[in-house]
Each structure stands twice: as C-alpha cells, then as structure tokens.
Amino acid sequence: MKPEIIYFSVTPRVVPANATSEIVIRPLFDHSAFRDDLDYELAYFPSEEFAQRSGWPENTRIRAKPENGAIRFTQYFEAEQEHAICLESLNGEERKQVGDFRVYSVEEDLYARRAYKGDLHIHSSRSDGRETPGYVAGACRRIGLDFMAITDHKQYGPSIEAQEAFRGVEHDLRIFRGEEVHPPNNPVHMINFGGRFSVNDLFVSDEYRSDVARLERELGPFPPGVDSYQYASCAWCFNKIREGGGLAIFCHPYWYTSHRYAPSGAITTHLFETQPFDAYEIIGGKRNRTRSKSRVTTRNAQRESPFRLLASATHTAASGTRSSAGTTRLFSRARPSSLTLSAA
C-alpha cells in the first residue's frame, strides 16, 4: 500500500463532475506533518485528459501553504474521470515528493450514492476455509468491509453462526446470511447471498425433482452439449434464491481445473446467453486468475451484455489485517427491484 494512503487523509475523494470543489489534504501522524518552514506545490493531472475548462495543462502547478496543519486548494474537476494530485515540498532548489493522491469526479447519479465494499463469496473452516465464521466476520470488519456473508459449500448454518458471534455487540459490519449452492449431479455452483432460507436444504424434497423435470420440458430444446437436467437445476436454484430475497450469483465461470474448464463450456455459454442469474463472478479464487479473467472478460466484451460491475469481494477467508490475494468481482444487471436484503 502506498505510504500516502496511510499517512494522509484526502477529503473529499469523490467530487461532482463539472464543478469546482475544495480538496483538503491533512496529515494523520506527526511524522507526516507539513512543515511551516517549507513551501509546497501541487501538480494536477486529469487522468483521461478531459480538460476543456479546468485550465490543464497550462495551469497544472499550484503553490500551497499549510493552514492549521492542512493544505487546501480548489480545482474544477471535469467529466467523469480519475484526477491525480501530486504534492511536493520545496526547500530552495530541492524538491521532494510528499504524496501522489487521487480524487474521482462522477456525475450526479453516482455522486448521490455511497460506495460500499463487501464480500459476497467467502468460506470458513466449516467447509474449506481456515477460520471459524466469527473470526472471518471479524477479519472482514478489520480490513474495512461494510458487509459480508459466509457462503460455505452446501451449508447455510455457518452464516447464521457468524451473525450469532456478534449478537449484542455494537459494530458497523452488515453480516448477511448465505451459502454456496451445490445441486446434486450438477457441476454449476451458485451463491445464495442474503436469502432467508437455505436452498441446499431443499434438494431432498420431491418439489425439487418434480419442478426440475418440468423445467426440462419447458425450457428445452437445449443446444448440443447442454445437459437438460443441469440447466433446469440451475434455473430452479436461481429462482429459489430470489424467492428467499437473495441475490443469485453464478460462481466462478470458466474455473480451470484438471486441464479443463468446469463447468463445461456448453452449459456456461448457454447460461450467459439466457442469463437466469442476477450476477456472475469474475477472477474467482486465488488460482488461475489470469486464465479465468481473460476468458470471461473477453466474452463480456464481445457480446452486448447488459451486465455492469456490481461489487468486489475476496473469495477466501480474510486473515490478519488484509484480504486474500484472490478476488471475486461481480458483474450484474441493475439489481432486481424486488430484491430486499436483510441481515437479520
């Protein structure tokens, strides 16, 4: 992590596009405090070079003096883009970089929203993770997440265990219920995030078998290579997740294992073409990130997909003070209007 991210606060980091905003850079520790005997200079760069009115590049440098321990400056932030703000100290002819900061300008529809960070797919020691559900939830809070759910393989109970671990404790982490859904004889895995009941528990019911058989008849015929039961089973699971008020997520498409993709390319392709899910993961897990990412990203770019980036999350349990190197990013259409997530 860049030292300036740790040693300074920059407020606001998100500003309205096509407007002038005041930015305040404030040291957080004595060792990073601004010195009164030094001058400072800011260099401004609009990263995408949208700069019809901002004065860039002619007026790119701004002299600044600390006031009450902070440096303040105003800037016209044009269009939706990232803006680089490079701060240097001046001591005679000597220049020294203090920090390379970032501010983001967004249009009104995004500026009115708050960005939340969360983990929608994470395991505990109740399946193939390392730590207990309560520990994982605490680790998510420690690394600054706003929400999470334990989504252990075939198990809904560990997500409740994570909630119970913090019952009566005041905290600002939303702990949702969830599970990774593994239908019988179906290689496709799905996430039930925020659902009010377990979908895994329903597979022993006569309803599951009869409904899937009906869906096989109604949803066919299927393209060559697509197993009718597997696809109908997926459709049933995604619908059941939504019935429980959950977000239905297609897990790690094009997961590469044993020299092949799992599930098969045929059913994955048909799932992308018909899109019975609410969101799908990209870069799922620690291993084979590049292969999975390139395959799915290329596919999404080639097709006129209605999906958009929804969130980011780690796949494996958070440990210590940082998250796993493996990440899960989710792409989704606009969240269904009927979806209400409850952390209760």
Domain boundaries, position 200: 118-332
Residues 154 and 280 grouped into a single domain: yes
pLDDT at 51 (0 to 100): 84
- pLDDT of 127 > 50? The answer is yes
Scan for tokens 């905003």, then name that residue: 21
- pLDDT of 309 > 50? The answer is no
- pLDDT of 110 > 90? The answer is no
Residues 161 and 186 grouped into a single domain: yes
Residues 107 and 138 grouped into a single domain: no
Residues 176 and 308 grouped into a single domain: yes
Handedness of CA 230, 236, 239, 241 (dihedral sign): negative
Bridge partners (DSSP) listed for residue 312: 329
pLDDT at 283 (0 to 100): 64
Query: What would the mean pLDDT of 242-252 be, rounded to a whole number?
Result: 95
Residues 103 and 74 grouped into a single domain: yes
Q: For residue 125, which phi and psi values (nearest 5 degrees)?
A: -70, -5
Residues 195 and 286 grouped into a single domain: yes
Q: Is residue 83 part of a domain?
A: yes
pTM of the model: 0.68
pLDDT, tens digit (0-9, with 9 covering 90-100), for 69-103: 999 999 999 999 999 999 999 998 899 999 999 99
The CATH number covering residue 33 comes to 2.60.40.10
The CATH number covering residue 224 comes to 3.20.20
Residues 152 and 82 grouped into a single domain: no
Residues 65 and 141 grouped into a single domain: no
Structurally, how many domains does the chain consist of? Answer: 2
Strands 190-193 and 247-250: antiparallel
Domain boundary among 62, 89, 111: 111
CA distance 77 to 65: 21
Domain boundary among 94, 111, 128: 111
CA distance 145 to 246: 19
Residues 182 and 216 grouped into a single domain: yes
- pLDDT of 249 > 80? The answer is yes
Closest CA to 233 of 180, 182, 177, 178: 182
Q: Is residue 340 part of a domain?
A: no
pLDDT at 38 (0 to 100): 92
Residues 316 and 251 grouped into a single domain: yes
pLDDT at 178 (0 to 100): 98
Non-local (6+) Cβ contacts of 165 within 8 A are 132, 133, 134, 137, 138
